[in-house]
Every structure is written in C-alpha cells, then in structure tokens.
Structure 1
Amino acid sequence: MNNMNAKYIKIDKIRMLIALFLGVLVFSYSSCNKEAALPQDPIDNLGGFKPDGNPEIDAWIKSNLTKPFNIAVKYQYDPFEIDYMKVTTPPKEEFVIPTMRLVLSCMANPYLKNSDSTFVKKIIPKLWVLVGSAQYNNDGTMVLGQAEGANKITIMDVNKYAPNEQFAINTNYTVHHETAHILHQTKLYSQQFKFVNPEYYTATWHNYTDKEAFDLGFVRNYAMASSDEDFVETIAFLLVKGQQAYNDIINVSSPQGKERLRIKEQLVVEYFKEKWSIDFRQLQSDVKAGISNYINENK
C-alpha cells in the first residue's frame, strides 16, 4: 500500500469516529429531553418539617407562653432555622411541653419574681426553636443553644430530656447563657469586665482544660472565647450551678484566678442592680428553688 492510500484510509477512520461521536451526542441529548411525568401528590414531611403542629402542644403553648409573654415555640423540624450544613434531628413531641415547662419554672418565673411582666416580656425571646440533637462542629466542640438578635433562642439536645438534676441544670445553663446575651445586647455591661484578663481571650479556647481556665480567671474554657461569652458564662454559672459551685472553682484556682473570678462576680452583681434594678442574689436563690421544685414535681 502506498503512502497516499494509507493517508486516505486514516482520514476515513477519523471521519467515522467523528460521525460516531456525534451520533452518541445526539442520542444522549434526545434521551435527556424526554419529559417524565411529575408526581401530583405532595411529599409529606419532607426533610422532617411538619407545617401543622400537634393540637395539644399548640394549645399549651398558646395558653402558657403566647398569651402571657407573646412567645412562639417552633418544635416542627426545620433545618433552615439552624445551621443546615450540620446534621441535626427533630425534637420528640413528648418532650416539647416538659422542656418549655422547665424554661418557665427556672428562668421566666424567677425573673418575673424579681422584676415585672413588662421586663420579662422585653427580655424574653419571642421565638424559641427546639432541636432534638446537639450540633457538632468540625473542631470537636458542640453547640447546645444559641441566641440571635435578642429575638430568638434555640435549645438543642431536647431528646435527652429527663426530669432529673443533670438535664435541668444542663438545659437551664443554656437558657440562662442565651438570656444573658439578650440582657447585655439590650444594656451594655461595664467596660471594666472586658479588661480583667483580656490577654487570654482566644478562638482556640477548646485547647484549654477547665482547670487551666479556672487558673486564668474563667468559670470554664468556653468563657475564654470572648468578653461577651465570659460575661454570660459567669452569669449562667452563678445562677444555675450556684454560689457554692462558684466558690469551689475559686478554691482550686491560682491566686490570680481567684482574684479575677471575684472581680467578675462583683461586676455581674453590680450590672443587674445598676442596669436592671434586680437583686442578683435573690434571683440566684429563686433560680435554684425553681430547679429544685421542677425536679421534685416531675419525679
């Protein structure tokens, strides 16, 4: 075979391959353009979200939260109310009322006793979102609750509900932490608090143990995240875990830690008195009584 014939054969093979490729492309395009019939029936409970609530739960919320405090509770699962990139689960309906009763007994009622309904309506968030599980972060930490713009609080890990001291303290710690955020977002705390030990605020707070945090003058490692977190952590610890627990961490901390923790405690007491006309020590006592009463009533 001479070179000319070989050249023509090679060209013909290339043309055949091109024709074959175009044929496959046309077939693929035609296949993709076939119209499939769309389902006519709606998909119920897509993603776990139920727009219609439970009538019994809704009636309780309306009577105990919406009418007296203008509060809405969203317990139907909606991933867009939280970080939808994280895996979370819906709350179990049987835990919705007990969880919100806990909020009333241990947060709303103690504040009500020490102020008035106008104050509580002002500082209590208007939207409460309940999530069944905690939200886990890539750094190994987890989120148990969050406050947004003084209007919304999210309580997570609701499906671990149990009428015992551990759940009552853990949940109320979250609730009082987030409520304290709303307080300081409404009325600023003293700048002096920010300068007790500012050099230790860090985004890598989770690399410290709680004992190391005590020695530096914090109630736990998360308080090292920022001055705002430090302030609300101090409030939540004193209110929920109580004065004796606070004294206990002071007793095991370094001399510098002891001094800083006492300064922060005093600044918290002064903040409640000066900004909100609330006796913090009485509020502390009422929160403790609320937790104890709730546990005893639900045994």
Structure 2
Amino acid sequence: MINKIDIRRTGWSLFILCLLFVGIQSCKENDSVSSDSIPNLGGYKPAGNPTIDAWIKKNLTEPFNVAVKYQYDPFEVDFMKNTTPAKEEYVIPTMELVKQCMVHPYLKNSDSAFVKRIIPKLWVLIGSGQYNDNGTVVLGQAEGGNKITLMDVNKYDKSRQFVQSSNYTVQHETAHILHQTRIFSPQFKYVNPEYYTTTWHNYPDKEAFDLGFVRNYAMASAEEDFVETIVYLLVFGQKAYDDLANKSTPAGKNRLKIKEQLVVEYFKDKWNMDFRQLQVDVQQGINGYIAGNQS
C-alpha cells in the first residue's frame, strides 16, 4: 500500500512538471516582446513644433543657453499627482513673458554674464497646477538653480492679473536661485522667527499681513519670506508694498519695512545691483507686455 501511494505521488509530480515545461515552452514560442521604444524611458523624444523650436533657439538658447521643454513628461513633476500638458499655442507667449518681465530687467541692471549665470538652463512647462492634499497648489518650482518648472500654463491670458501672477511665479523661482547662490544676511531670519510655520496655509493673508508678511506663504520659512518680499516689491511695485505695510499693524509695518531694507541691501552688497531700478524695469516690462510691445 505504501508503494502504491509513493508511485501515485511520483506520477502526479511528473505530470505537474510536464505541464510547467509545456507552459514555459508555449510562452517562449507565442509571447514576443516588442522592440519599439517606450516613451519617457530613454531613447525617446517627442516631436517638437518647428515654429516654437525656432523661436526658443533665437530668443533663449542662443543668447542665454536656455532650453525649454514643452512636450509633456509626467516624470518632470510629481507623477503621483494629476497634471496636464501645456498647450502649444501658449508656449511662446509664456516664454516671451519670462523674457520681457524677468530676463530683460535683470539684463538691464547687470550684464549677459550675470543673466547666463542665474537663469536656469532648463524650463519645463506644464499645463495645469499640481494640487496637494492640504488644498494648496504648486504653480512653479526651482531645482538646484538649473531647472524651473512653470505650471498652470493653460490658463494663459493677457490680463494684468494673469501676467502678474505668472511673473510672480517666475520671479519667485529666480529669487530662490539668487539666494541659493549668495546667501542673504542672517539678520533677516531674526525679524520674526516665532511666526514661521509649516501650517502657513491655515493663516488667512490678512493675518499674515498683520504679522509682517506679504502673504501667508511667506510664513513657511525665512527663505520663503525673503523671496516673497523680493517678488512682491518687484511684481506689484513700491506703492503696493507701501499700501500693504500701511494697512498692517504697527508691529507688522515695522517688520515689513525692515525686510524691505534688507532686500535692497542684499542686492547692493551681494550683486552690486540697484534694486530700486530693477523694480522700475520689472514694472515697465509688465506694462509693456500687457500693452503688446515686443522687447
């Protein structure tokens, strides 16, 4: 009886091995792997638009060694978040905005060597914003001084609100590159260190104003505060900044004016640049762009 059980088990094992062998053989014979390139995994480059590519080459690549990636690649952003491609008709207007409202003002107040040094070499355009779980949205980001990602490109229009908002993102990421290249005075970090918080999004802008910040996001860290102060002064101008300070509390106004002075000194001491003139040139760039003047 024992011998019979052993024989049956042995026969059943052989049968299973034969099935596995046949299955492996059939996979080898019938399932072939395609040799076509897989998008975004190397060796693949989406076709560009000749008109767009020619404009980028003439206006950005040749003078400043800048590349613009407008073909959609989800791995350029957080691929766990839903984002959409940038529409081609908005690529040139978006980068023209960058050129007129950021590049040229800095060029006027320094030289081409400075601009080549601080301008990121890769610009990535994404059609939508990148939404976070806490309800905030990412509209741009800078990476190591070499790359800037601009999002929400598909909402493009020539209204003052959109142009200022878009330039705000551009100037914000550019200012990050500046302070990452040459650090700002430690004094800035001690103007109101007790109010920096990771839950900045829980504070209304009005409360942030009263505490001495240009908006709630500036409360995220001293670095963001420094950058936001620069950008508000450049994009909205001196009068808007003064109005904001005057509407704040006495303590908030004092902090805002101290931060303003530290920004002016930073540009003078670290970059030998007149920040007041840069303000004027950014404002002229914005107004000229909205009016349709080509730089």
Task: Provide the TM-score with structure 2 as the length reference.
Answer: 0.88
Q: Secondary structure at the match of 1:278?
A: coil
Counterpart position of 2:277: 282
What is the alpha-carbon distance in structure 2 between the residues aligned to residue 203 and residue 33 of structure 1? Answer: 57
Q: 1:164 aligns with which of 134, 147, 159?
A: 159
1:183 paired residue number: 178
Query: Which residue is 1:80 aligned to?
Result: 75
SS in 1 for 2:123: strand
Amino acid at match of 1:279: D
Report 1:1-299 matches (<5 A).
30=23, 34=27, 35-39=30-34, 51-297=46-292
> Number of residue pairs matched?
282
Q: By how many angstroms is 1:211 displaced? A: 0.6
Find the aligned partners of 1:72 and 1:229 in 2 and give their Cα distance: 26
Instruction: Report how far residue 84 of structure 1 moved.
Output: 1.0
* Contact 1:200 1:224 survives alignment (8 Å): yes
The structure number with the bigger radius of gyration is: 1
Q: CA deviation at 1:52?
A: 2.0
8 A contact 2:123–2:147 mirrored in 1? yes
Name the CA distance, whole Å, in 1 between partners of 2:202 and 2:103: 34
Code of the residue aligned with 2:149 in structure 1: it is T
Tell me the amino acid that sits aligned with residue 52 of structure 1.
Answer: A
Offset, 1:250 = 1.0
CA 68–241 in structure 1, closer or farther in 2 if over 3 Å, else same: same
- Conserved in 1, the CA contact under 8 Å of 2:40 and 2:73? no
- C-alpha change, 1:114 and 1:207, in structure 2 (3 Å) is same
Tell which deviates more after alignment, 33-42 or 262-271: 33-42
Compare 250-259 and 141-150 and name the one that shifted more.
Answer: 250-259
Contact preservation (8 Å) 1:50, 1:77: no
Aligned residues of 1:163 and 1:298 also touching (Cα < 8 A): no
Structure 2: gaps spanning 5 or more residues: 1-7
Q: Deviations over 1:221-274 (max 9, x none)?
A: 000000000000000110001112211221221111010000000000110111
Deviations 1:114-169 (A, max 9, x none): 11111111111111010000000010000000001111111100001112211110
Rounded to whole Å, the distance in 2 between the matches of 1:135 and 1:252 is: 32
How far is the alpha carbon of 1:63 from its aligned partner? Answer: 0.6
Give the C-alpha shift of residue 55 in structure 1.
1.0
1:290 Cα deviation from its structure 2 partner: 0.4
* Residues 188, 33 of structure 1: alpha-carbon distance in 2 compared, 3 angstrom cutoff: farther
How far off is 1:38 after superposition? 4.3
Deviation at 1:31, TM superposition (A): 9.6
